[in-house]
Structures are given as structure tokens and as C-alpha cells.
Structure 1
């Protein structure tokens, strides 16, 4: 039996080596690769107080399978926040999940099989690609530019497929606001166009809004807020604005869809984490916290853009984000995967662009930099180190 498991594990690792998409990063590197909240902005003290108060009041309840009434309270808090952003939902139309990724996976379970065609942005969030590839290998890729998903290109692609009798997508996965990895934001005109295309060609839209609260100036209106035909399944998360380790996300959709998602989710709840989050939100208003982190990330993004302008060669270009965590950088003629090894030896890391494309060759000249995790001094020093590597090639 041991040999059986050993052989099968070995074969599985040969097919999908661990860490292939996330390269090894030395401990002493400046991590411009890390799409994590800044350590100084994780509310450790407040969460500690919330946990202590929760256990003092509720004792063992949050530690049981069934959890506490605070799980429903958390759902209500999410609904109230969505209402402030012009999205109206009832308790039957929201499912709390273990982060946004569980929400995406649950949606894939009920809507995607090997015959399903899924439309995705190109590039897009690497984890979402991995989830969908577990269910289907039939994809339509829509190119991105500085204004997000190119809806005109998508419209032509859909019309062409229909005229040729090719299968149309049943789902579109999109991150329209402060996208990962590009940092781009879909314009209002394109948002409206995308919803029109969904009506015309009869597909659903999964709107991943993980970064939507991290705006630097004005907050864009979500696709879901424009949605009049229940085409949009809205996915949100507290990971980027409070603490990713609590794994609190959600999906908002029609009651019928939520019931199906709930059936697949079954008892895979995190009662303690949900109760902690609810208690935290009760004590510490989210709007006040958002103002703090928005200002911090805005400042760090500005420092990164200035450093890129100061140190990078003129041939290098990048998209300018209006929020979120990331700057998407193009190095014409370079293979950023090869560049990474030299950069880490120099003391700075990034993510090569290939990891965000279905066809890795499409991302050869691109890389993603994150300004969220490191402090201001490290951001500038990291960009300087990376620029030295680029200039010396």
C-alpha cells in the first residue's frame, strides 16, 4: 500500500511539479512578487481583542461545527456593505465562503464541465485559471489593454464564433476593477457593453471584486450594480482589506444559484473565522479602515511609478493603476522568466507574466510588480535593483 501511494504521488508531481508557477524566492529578497497586504496594515491588535471578547462572551460556541449566530450577522454585515455600493441582496442571496477562491470553485462546480466554454481575460488571475482548468480545457481568451477587457474584440470574437456555428461561452470570468495582474479598470462604457453582450449571447459573468475597495480616487460602480438581468455572480473578499488568513469571502447571486452553491459547499464553513470577522466588523467600522489602507497603497503605488520612471530604460512601459495592488510592466524583447533568476540574485523578486496566461508564451515580455507588501523604502530599492538587472542585460 505504501508503495502504491508513493508511486502515485511521484507520478502526480512529475505532471504538476510543486512551485512551478510560484518560483522560489530567497528570504533576503525584496518581495515585489507578493500580492499580500502590508504586514503593518493587518489589524493584529484589534483582531486579538475581537477574539478575546468573542470567547469571553460566547465561550465554546464559535469552536463548534454549527458555530454561532455571528455567522448570520456577518452575512448581514456583508449585505449592508454591498447596499452602500448600490447592490441589493437578501440573506438568501449571499453565501459566505472560504475566500474568493472557494466561491470561484463552487461556481465552477455547478456551471462548468468538460463541454463548457469559459471566457477569460488574457492575462488574468492565475489561481482562477487553475480552478477552471480542473473542469474544462475549452477557453476563449479576451485581450486586455490599459482600459481593461477589450469588449469590442470580445464582441467580434463572439459574432465570429456564432456565424461559424462554434460553441459560445457559458461563463465569463472577469476582474473589472484593479485587475490582477494588470491593475487596470474597465471603463463604464465597456462595463455597459459587456452586460449587453451577456444578454445578446446568453452567458453569465463572474465578477471577481477582490480589489474593488482599494481605490485611490473614485470607486468604480461594479458590474453587478449595473446588472438588471441577473447575469452577474458577484464575488467579494475581506482578504485584501482585513486579513487573508481568516479566509472570508462570499458570492452574491440569485436565491436559486445560492441554494445550489450551498449544496456543494455543505458543511465546509469556518465558524470561528466568520465569528471573529463579524465581531471585528462590529467594533471597528470598515470605512475608517478603508481610508487608512487606501491612502497607504496610493502612496506606495505612486512611489513605485516614480521609481520605474526614474530608473527603467525608455523601452520599458507599464499600466498606471487607479487602485489595487499591482503594476503590470512590459520589457520588450525580454524573457521575464529568465530575468527572474538574475533579479533574485540581485535581491528583488517579481512574478513573470507567463503565469497569468493560458499560453505562457503570450506573457514572455511581461512581469507583475506588487506595491502592497513591502514598505516604501524597499519598493524604491527593489525597483532600482530590478532596473540595474534590466539595464545590464
Structure 2
């Protein structure tokens, strides 16, 4: 049977792209995982979540195990609204949609707002799984470069003006990670945040703000774009994956109620009652500000360990950005194809993610790699950077 015969043309095109997870190399045992953008295992509150699940079942018996679920489902939305308000975003109940992590949120927005004729703008580089999602719906992707201050809004402004003058389609929305970006770790400076919102008004596009790392600041968390938005142009996508547990799959979209209603129209999973009500029970009984402070301190220390190790073991002319929060450090290895070097790194017992996977045009990323300081412990970080330093020193 010719299976492809049953796929419509747009699906055939999407299936020709790089497959999901292609960036994730098979790791040897005992490998130092500087590739993994996951929370440190010891920082995941497994015991507290177990207690929350026990409390939930004890109090509600079978309710969280049914389609309609627990009364705590509504409570979770209120808890998230309260967290948003702490960061300057006052949203109503009908302006928030709980999702199965940030990826479902991004996919719902893309599914609702994109087709093969639509244009989406992205940072370059950007989160590879968001790129994968957008390419399921459109091939019309325009890219805006990033420097140490985040997305270059002046370059974007010139691109928009040129497209408008040439009669080309303007982007439906911009996807951006303005705070502790994945993969670069950079943060969009306040003047550029203001400029970006002005561009959205001038050229009539929406902004999808992915803020998965926004609460993991080493100093003070920047003001989200959503908190600065006075015209309802920003969809704010948040997640508890980086600050609680990724396996719980709790994320959300905050935006204008009409948009939220449209996204919910296409969200046919009936929610995830047990995971969501367990998370609500956990949040009800935790000092979340204290937890955030603990996470910020731990990741700040690990980041500094990584940066110090890079300074000690990496040869010139290798360069990197120093992040102010989040999980990642972005490294440039001039003249080296980092995807070709990965096999040697893995044979030495250390992993990273080649930079090409974060670019729409993968050839632009051959000299880059992403390192994560979140998962490995400090001793492993030092040892891993030492190994990579030896590898790159041998070829430069």
C-alpha cells in the first residue's frame, strides 16, 4: 500500500523536513550531558509532588481520575493568574488556557493562525522545536539575527519596511524568546522590547512570547513583553517545566479572550485532569517564591562554574555569551563544523547540541553549539568543558 497517497500535499511537504528530535544524539552510558536542557534531577521536587498526589487522592478519591476531573482544575488557573500578576500581567479567567506544556501552546497558536500562505518571523537562532512546529504549517519563515542584546529590532524594522514596499506578505506573528533565550541565553534589552511592540503596531503583526525561562533570573527578571503590551498583540506562553517538573506537562497561553477561545476550539485533549490537579495541590502547599530563589541560586552557581571553565579550558578564538539567567550558554567555534565534531565529543564522554539545529537555514549554524549547565552537576560541568577544551584545542 502506498501510504503517502493518503497524505495531503501540505503534510507531504512537512514530512520532508528534519524529523522531530533529530538534534538529540544517542548518548553513551556515563556521558556528561551538557546537551540536556532539563532541570537538575536533585532540584525536581519529587517527594513534594508525591505528597501532593497522595493528598489529592485522599481528599477527592476518584475525581481527578475522571474526564471532568478535580475542582482543583479551576484552582490551577487561578494560581497561574496570580503568578502572572506578580510579573505585571493582570489577566482574566477567559484570557488563560492551560496546555500540555509550552509545545502544545505553540502548536495551538500555529495551527490557528498559520497556513501555507502565512508568514511567520523567528529569531535566528531560535528554539528548534518551535521551528519544527511552524514548518508543519508553512514554509514562509523569515529570520531576524540575534546579538548579545537579543533580537536586532532595527534589522527587523528594515525587513518589514522592505517587504511592505515590495508588496510581500507581512508576518502573521513573530515568535520570540526575549528573556534568557534558548539557545543563546541572551536577553532583549528594554529599548528593543519597546521598539518591538511599536513595530507590531506599525506593521500589524502579533507576538508569540515564549517565557519558559523568565523566572530563572540570576539577578532581577526583566519585564515580560506581555506586561508592556497595551494593545493585546502579545500571546504569552509560560510553563512550569523548568521551575517544577517537565514531565507534568503544565503550560499555558495568556492573551485576548477571543484568541484564547479559538485556541481552545482546536484543543481536543479534554485537558489532563490528574496532572493538572496534582500540580494545583503541589502549588497550594509550597512557598513558590522561596523555591524560585533556591533555583535561581543553584543555576547561577552552575552557570558561573561553566563560564569559568570555558575561560580556563577553551582556546582562542572561541567566544560565548554570558547569560543573565536560564539554562544555556551559546558558543562560537570559528572554522569548525560542530555537528561533525560531535561524534568525537561523545567518544570522549561529553555531549552538546550542534548549533545548526537552531537555524531555519542550518548552514548558518555550523560554527555554533549550545551548552546547558542545568542538568549536569558542577563537577561534571568542569570535567566536560575540560574534555571539550582538549578536543577543540587539538584542531585549532
Return the TM-score normalized by structure 2: 0.96
Cα distance in 2 for partners of 1:346, 1:131 equals: 33
SS in 2 for 1:206: strand
Residue correspondence of structure 1 range 107-122 to structure 2 within 5 A: 107-122=109-124
SS in 1 for 2:266: helix
Cα distance in 2 for partners of 1:182, 1:119 equals: 17
Cα RMSD, aligned residues only: 1.8
The 1:95–1:15 alpha-carbon spacing in structure 2 relative to 1, beyond 3 Å, is closer
| Match status 1:150 vs 2:158 | no
Cα distance in 2 for partners of 1:20, 1:246 equals: 23
Q: For the Cα contact (< 8 Å) 2:209–2:226, is it kept in 1? A: yes
Cα distance in 1 for partners of 2:25, 2:147 equals: 26
Cα distance in 1 for partners of 2:306, 2:36 equals: 14
SS in 2 for 1:300: helix
The CA deviation string for residues 50-96 of structure 1, in whole angstroms up to 9 with x for no partner, is 11011000001001111111111000000011111110101110000
Structure 1 position 23, deviation (Å): 1.7
Structure 1 position 268, deviation (Å): 3.6
Number of the residue aligned with 1:253: 255
Number of the residue aligned with 1:317: 319
SS in 2 for 1:218: coil
- Structure 1: which 5+ residue stretches go unaligned? none
The CA deviation string for residues 226-259 of structure 1, in whole angstroms up to 9 with x for no partner, is 0000010000000000000000000000111111
SS in 1 for 2:142: strand
Number of the residue aligned with 1:201: 203
Cα distance in 2 for partners of 1:238, 1:272 equals: 16
Number of the residue aligned with 2:50: 48
SS in 1 for 2:323: coil
Residue correspondence of structure 1 range 7-46 to structure 2 within 5 A: 19-46=21-48
The 1:130–1:6 alpha-carbon spacing in structure 2 relative to 1, beyond 3 Å, is closer
SS in 2 for 1:265: coil
Number of the residue aligned with 1:214: 216
- Structure 2: which 5+ residue stretches go unaligned? none
SS in 1 for 2:252: strand
Cα distance in 2 for partners of 1:44, 1:337 equals: 35
Number of the residue aligned with 2:229: 227
SS in 1 for 2:326: coil
The CA deviation string for residues 319-375 of structure 1, in whole angstroms up to 9 with x for no partner, is 010000000000000000011111010110000000000111000000000000000
Structure 1 position 26, deviation (Å): 1.1
Cα distance in 2 for partners of 1:13, 1:367 equals: 26
Number of the residue aligned with 1:164: 166
Structure 1 position 17, deviation (Å): 5.6
Q: For the Cα contact (< 8 Å) 2:20–2:132, is it kept in 1? A: no
| Match status 1:345 vs 2:347 | yes
**Could you tell me which of 257, 272, 279 is aligned with 2:281?**
279
Cα distance in 2 for partners of 1:352, 1:287 equals: 35
Cα distance in 2 for partners of 1:17, 1:89 equals: 36
The 1:240–1:338 alpha-carbon spacing in structure 2 relative to 1, beyond 3 Å, is same
Q: For the Cα contact (< 8 Å) 2:23–2:353, is it kept in 1? A: no
Cα distance in 2 for partners of 1:240, 1:366 equals: 24
Number of the residue aligned with 1:243: 245
SS in 1 for 2:145: strand
SS in 2 for 1:230: coil
Cα distance in 1 for partners of 2:326, 2:87 equals: 17
Cα distance in 2 for partners of 1:15, 1:270 equals: 30
Cα distance in 1 for partners of 2:198, 2:49 equals: 43
The 1:18–1:261 alpha-carbon spacing in structure 2 relative to 1, beyond 3 Å, is closer
Cα distance in 1 for partners of 2:28, 2:105 equals: 32
SS in 1 for 2:386: helix
SS in 1 for 2:277: helix
Cα distance in 1 for partners of 2:55, 2:6 equals: 47
Structure 1 position 16, deviation (Å): 5.3
Number of the residue aligned with 2:385: 383
Q: For the Cα contact (< 8 Å) 2:98–2:253, is it kept in 1? A: yes
Cα distance in 2 for partners of 1:236, 1:14 equals: 30
SS in 2 for 1:328: strand
| Match status 1:73 vs 2:72 | no
